[in-house]
Amino acid sequence: MTNILDDGQRTLAARVALTQQIERGSVVLSSRLAGAFLNVPRHLFVPVFYRRDGDRFIPWSSTDGHAEAWLDAVYADDSLITEVDGVHAEDAAPEGLTGVPTSSSTAPSLMADMLDALDVHEGHDVFEAGTGTGYNAAALCFLAGDKHVTTVDRTASLTARARPRLYAVGFDPLVIHGDGARDFPADATYDRIIATASVCRVPPAWLARLRPGGIMVVPIKGTLAGGMVARLTKLPDGSAAGYVLHTPAAFMPLRSGSETPAQVSVVPEGPCGDGELSARVLDDWTFSFFAQLHLPPDVVRTYGTSADGLHVTTLYDPSDGSTTRIADMPQGPPTVTSTGPRDLWRPIAAAHRLWEQLNRPRREWFTIEATPDAQEVRYAAPGGAVHRWAL
C-alpha cells in the first residue's frame, strides 16, 4: 500500500484546500503569501503531534493508522500541539502523557495574518524568535529568500529537528539554538522581526536590531487569555509605533533568561466582601485583552471550580505578595477575598466598567508605541479623550 505522504497529488490537494480555507476567513492572501502556503508542506514539519484524549495527550503520526484523517488534521486550520511539559510528540510513549502544552505549530490562518502584517519581500533580512517546528521559518524563506532568514529557539531539540526539515524542502536559513530575546549574530540588523511566542513587552534588543522603516510583529500577552498581536514600524528617532491586529492570540510565552514561573500562594480563609461581577468575564477574550492592560505584567491567574462546581479565580502578584480570590456563590454575588497590600480584583472591576462605558472597543482600535525606555498602549475615544496604559 502506498504511503499517503508519497502521494504528491494528495498532499498538494491538502495544501490547496488549506490555502482556500485561510482565504475564506479574515485574511486576504497576496499571491506571494498564498504561494508560501501552497509550496511549503506542513506535514513534513509536523510528522508527529499530540491529539487530546480526555486529560491525556496522545502522540499521533501517519503510521498510527487512519493516515487520511491524520493528513486532514495536519492541514486543518488549527494549532497542533507538538510538546507537552518539554516532551516532544516524537519522543512520547504511545500511551501519551498528561501535562501542559509547551510548544505548538500555530494555526495557519493566524500565521497568515501575522505574515501579511509583516509584509516580507524578497531580499528582506528577517529575524524569527521561536523556530518551533520550522514551518513558519519555511514560509519566511519562501517570501524573503532563505539566506535572508535567521530563526532562533531556546529548545535544542526543536532547532535540531527544524534544521534538516528546512533543508529537505530546499531552504538553508541560519538556525540558532539560543534565546530569541537576546541572541543575535554579531552586529546583525533586520528589516523584519517576528515572534511566534508571546512576551509581556517588546524586548529592547528587538527594537535596537530593527532597521529604521522596518516592521516587527509581536504577540504581547500577560497572564490572561486573549493576548494581542502588535505591528510596529521603526521610526527615525529609534522608537517604534503601530497598532494591534484584530486577531486574538494566546501564544505560549517566550522563554528568556533564567526566570522561573511564580507559584500562586494560598489565600487564607478570612474576611471577604461581595464582588460586582464574576471572574468568568476574564474568559471572554474580547474583555480579557482590555483587562490585561490594567494589571501588572507579572500577575499570575489560576482558575478552576470549587467543590460545588462553581467558578473560582485566584490572582497573585509575586512583586508584593498580594493575592485575591474571586469565588462564585450558589446565590448572590461572588465573594472576593484578598491578602497582602492590594486587592487585585478592584482594578479589573473598574476596567470592566470603563470597557462598557467605551462601548466595548475592539482590539484593532488600539495603537501601541515603544521606545528604549517605555512602552504604551493607547485608545483614542471618538470624543477625543485618549486613554493610555503602560506595558
Strand partners, 367: 243, 378
Alpha carbons 155 and 161: distance in angstroms, whole number: 10
CA distances from 356 to 139, 229, 349 (A): 40, 23, 11
Alpha carbons 237 and 200: distance in angstroms, whole number: 23
The SS3 call for residue 301 is strand
Of 79, 104, 109, 322, the catalytic one is 104
Beta carbons within 10 angstroms of residue 338's beta carbon: 21
CA atoms within 13 A on the CB side of 262: 19
Contact 42, 18 (CB under 8 A): yes
Say what the alpha-carbon torsion angle 176, 202, 137, 28 is, to the nearest 10 degrees: 180
> Residue 346 contacts by C-beta under 8 Å, 6 or more apart in sequence?
none
Alpha carbons 278 and 360: distance in angstroms, whole number: 18
Task: Please give the backbone phi and psi of residue 374, each rounded to the nearest 5 degrees, phi first.
Answer: -155, 155
Contact 142, 121 (CB under 8 A): no
CA quadruple 109, 46, 51, 302: dihedral sign = negative
Maximum Cα–Cα distance across the chain: 69
Beta strands in 134-209 (DSSP E): 149-153, 174-177, 190-195
What is the C-alpha R_g of the chain?
22
Which three cell numbers mark 165? Answer: 526539515
CA atoms within 13 A on the CB side of 84: 22
Whether 338 is catalytic: no
Which amino acids are annotated catalytic? 104
